[in-house]
Amino acid sequence: MVEYKSIVYEGVIGMKVETLEVIQGDYMLKDYAETAKTFQWKDAEKNFSWFETGKVNMAYEAIDRHVETDRKDKVALFYQDAVRKESYSYTDMKNQSNKAANVFKQYSNLLKGDRLFIFMPKSPELYFGLLGAVKMGVIVGPLFEAFMEGAVYDRLLDSEAKAIVTTPELLNRIPIDKLPNLETVFLVGDSVEETDKYIDFKKALESASTSFDIEWVDKEDGLILHYTSGSTGKPKGILHVHYAMVQHYQSMKWVMDIRDEDIYWCTADPGWVTGTSYGIFGPLLAGATSLVLGGRFSPDAWYSAIEEYKVSVWYSAPTAYRMLMGAGDSIVNQHDLSSLRHVLSVGEPLNPEVIKWGMQVFNKRIHDTWWMTETGAQMICNYGCMPIKPGSMGKPLPGITAAIIDNQGNVVAPYTMGNLVIKKGWPSMMRQIWNNKEKYEASFMNDDWYFSGDSASMDEDGYFWFQGRVDDVIMTSGERVGPFEVESKLLEHPAILEAGVIGKPDPIRGEIIKAFIALNEGYAPSDELKVEIQQFIKKGLSAHAAPREIEFKEKLPKTRSGKIMRRVLKAWELKLPPGDLSTMED
């Protein structure tokens, strides 16, 4: 039983600060301050078998190791969607991932370090395939199912992927003839026509052996490649290594507060980093039982899942919580949600109203966590044992040093806005931006601080407060969209001369994408054209990258060097002063 109380006190700058404090409750992380003072990542390495054997593989620690303990019959994965309802024990996961590894070995030329992509909706085969590839030492590139041809092409080309696991329905979005390195396509479907290149994955799994000799790798060898957006250039491939497991595991204990008896539900898709770090690796490393729910979001389906599976630890996103909040309390009351013990959030700022709502409907605090694709694991969080200040992201994970610095690299005083940076060298830190050493190096200042691209401040008690992105990256419904990628696609449309894309604040989605467009000669603004342009992005990139709002302009604000000034577009939109216009063309 956990009980809380709300305490309001006078903050240093005279503001009233509310905290939600635990008055009763027992957490895995007992004393934040003491642990933060003494903890070293080296201590956490003792939790892994390789600490003694020297043989490293993420999938071994996540699955096989548990099969040698009394967790062997424990459920690792409950899977449910509109047609399937299945459960897999740790022994089943071992067998199925071994089968997948054997299939990859038999039908492709994949070797350690090669890239295999997985492009499909959630399904048990996605998890088997991903973990099977890891057992071979292959680097996995997960792709969100909503990606369209252009987005798929960029990622497979940049990474020189050799093989892909997908479904027959998604096949027409993979321009196979234009991808010279792509040799093998594993298809997950009911009636697959096989050739040398196209393999029926489910059929092959059935007859494959359940034993496989794991490829032992170096701690620093590549594990997973997540493409994410920056403010300039094509999406960048963020590479994480097997050693990331140290932080995945430790944060599952301290932040997620996971115990053996828990039913854990991370709602993220494995196409995004949350869905792999905390939807696959973290819970398996901790030996937990996870729920994976396929299909679309609906408040009723989600609450029903919590009730039916007795979910106790729940990790979701502000957008989802806001949509649940919008669906009203009467639907909450139709469900028994009393199994929930620990509730968490990631992806965007968690509004204080949402935390208040969570207290009312679940009688639970929602614990915000801050991190990003590049950090690979949770970095700044609210812990069970610590008071929550609604609106704050919390404090750095023990072992992590975070700071706010100005543009010259000096640490600023409390309550001053600046760049949120992290001291280089945490276990789950990205090790490469694929094919782009320069961009990787530019992410660090003096080879010392990692630049998050977020602006924030820290208060006197060491709590961090998010303000926004310092670059033009858009966060819409918790998904990160690079304006450049959308603008480039827009320019491929015959009607479009120039395009500038910004994030516009939105109460539900955090931000929505708004495009300012100047048309070519011979084209006139119309509502039909807006719809056509939206469809063009949906088909060419993905639905979540399509601008919900389009505004036609005669001309867009540009620098003398021809760069679209998104800052000015944003100021137009928000009716703010545009700032320094000295570099703008006439």
Q: Does 254 bind ligand WT7 (CB under 6 A)?
A: no
Q: Does 466 bind ligand WT7 (CB under 6 A)?
A: yes
Nearest approach, Cβ of residue 374 and ligand WT7 (Å) = 7
Among the listed residues 469, 530, 539, 553, the single contact to ligand WT7 using CB under 6 A: 469
Please identify which residue in the block is written with the tokens 């002063």.
577
Degrees to nearest 5, angle at CA 493 with 488 and 495: 125
Nearest approach, Cβ of residue 368 and ligand WT7 (Å) = 5
Q: Toward ligand WT7, which CB reaches closer, 135 or 389? A: 389
- Label each residue of 424-459 as H, E or C: CCCCCCCCEECCCHHHHHHCEECCCEEEEEEEEEEC
Nearest approach, Cβ of residue 273 and ligand WT7 (Å) = 5
Taking CB under 6 A as the binding criterion, the range among 31-39, 61-69, 175-183, 371-379 that sits at the site for ligand WT7 is: 371-379
Nearest approach, Cβ of residue 202 and ligand WT7 (Å) = 31
271 Ramachandran zone, left/alpha/beta (phi>0; psi -120 to 50):
alpha
Q: Does 347 bind ligand WT7 (CB under 6 A)?
A: yes
Start-to-end Cα distance in the chain: 65
Nearest approach, Cβ of residue 426 and ligand WT7 (Å) = 14
**Residue window 475-494: x/- pattern of binding to ligand WT7, with contact defined by CB under 6 A:** x----x--------------
Taking CB under 6 A as the binding criterion, the range among 366-374, 513-521, 546-554, 558-566 that sits at the site for ligand WT7 is: 366-374
Q: Does 370 bind ligand WT7 (CB under 6 A)?
A: yes
Please identify which residue in the block is written with the tokens 């170096």.
218
Size of the site for ligand WT7 (CB under 6 A): 21
Degrees to nearest 5, angle at CA 281 with 278 and 284: 105
Among the listed residues 373, 382, 428, 477, the single contact to ligand WT7 using CB under 6 A: 373
Q: Toward ligand WT7, which CB reaches closer, 80 or 419? A: 419
Phi, psi of 94 (to 5 degrees): -65, -50
3-state secondary structure of 268: coil
CA distance 475 to 485: 14
Among the listed residues 251, 452, 477, 534, the single contact to ligand WT7 using CB under 6 A: 452
CA-nearest of 93, 125, 79, 83 to 309 is 79
The H or E element spanning position 4 is: strand 3-10
Q: Does 454 bind ligand WT7 (CB under 6 A)?
A: yes
Taking CB under 6 A as the binding criterion, the range among 134-142, 180-188, 368-376, 404-412 that sits at the site for ligand WT7 is: 368-376
Q: Toward ligand WT7, which CB reaches closer, 167 or 419? A: 419
Q: Does 98 bind ligand WT7 (CB under 6 A)?
A: no
Phi, psi of 141 (to 5 degrees): -115, 100
The answer for residues whose C-beta is within 8 angstroms of residue 112's C-beta and 6 or more apart is 136, 137, 138, 215, 217, 221
Nearest approach, Cβ of residue 372 and ligand WT7 (Å) = 3
Q: Does 144 bind ligand WT7 (CB under 6 A)?
A: no
Nearest approach, Cβ of residue 375 and ligand WT7 (Å) = 7
Q: Does 503 bind ligand WT7 (CB under 6 A)?
A: no
Q: Toward ligand WT7, which CB reaches closer, 131 or 475? A: 475
Nearest approach, Cβ of residue 201 and ligand WT7 (Å) = 28
Q: Does 393 bind ligand WT7 (CB under 6 A)?
A: yes
Q: CA-based diameter of the chain, in Å?
A: 73
CA-nearest of 300, 240, 241 to 56 is 241
Taking CB under 6 A as the binding criterion, the range among 113-121, 165-173, 347-355, 528-536 that sits at the site for ligand WT7 is: 347-355
Taking CB under 6 A as the binding criterion, the range among 160-168, 297-305, 329-337, 451-459 that sits at the site for ligand WT7 is: 451-459
The answer for residues whose C-beta is within 8 angstroms of residue 548's C-beta and 6 or more apart is 512, 513, 514, 534
Q: Toward ligand WT7, which CB reaches closer, 66 or 509? A: 509
DSSP assignment of 37-78 = HH--HHHHGGGSTHHHH--B-HHIIIIIHHHTTTTTTSEEEE
CA separation (Å) from 58 to 8, 49, 279?
Answer: 45, 11, 14
Question: What DSSP state is assigned to residue 525?
Answer: -
Nearest approach, Cβ of residue 507 and ligand WT7 (Å) = 16
Among the listed residues 279, 453, 500, 547, the single contact to ligand WT7 using CB under 6 A: 453
CA-nearest of 526, 525, 513 to 482 is 513
Chain-centroid distance, C-alpha 497: 34
Nearest approach, Cβ of residue 562 and ligand WT7 (Å) = 28
Handedness of CA 297, 300, 305, 310 (dihedral sign): positive
Q: Which two tokens stand for residue 148?
A: 């369209």
Q: Where do runs of H (alpha helix) occur along 287-412?
A: 299-309, 318-326, 329-333, 352-362
**Residue window 1-20: x/- pattern of binding to ligand WT7, with contact defined by CB under 6 A:** --------------------
Q: Which of residues 183-202 bind ligand WT7 (CB under 6 A)?
A: none
Q: Does 510 bind ligand WT7 (CB under 6 A)?
A: no
Nearest approach, Cβ of residue 230 and ligand WT7 (Å) = 10
> Which residues lie near ligand WT7 (CB under 6 A)?
228, 273-274, 346-349, 368-373, 393, 452-454, 466, 469, 475, 480
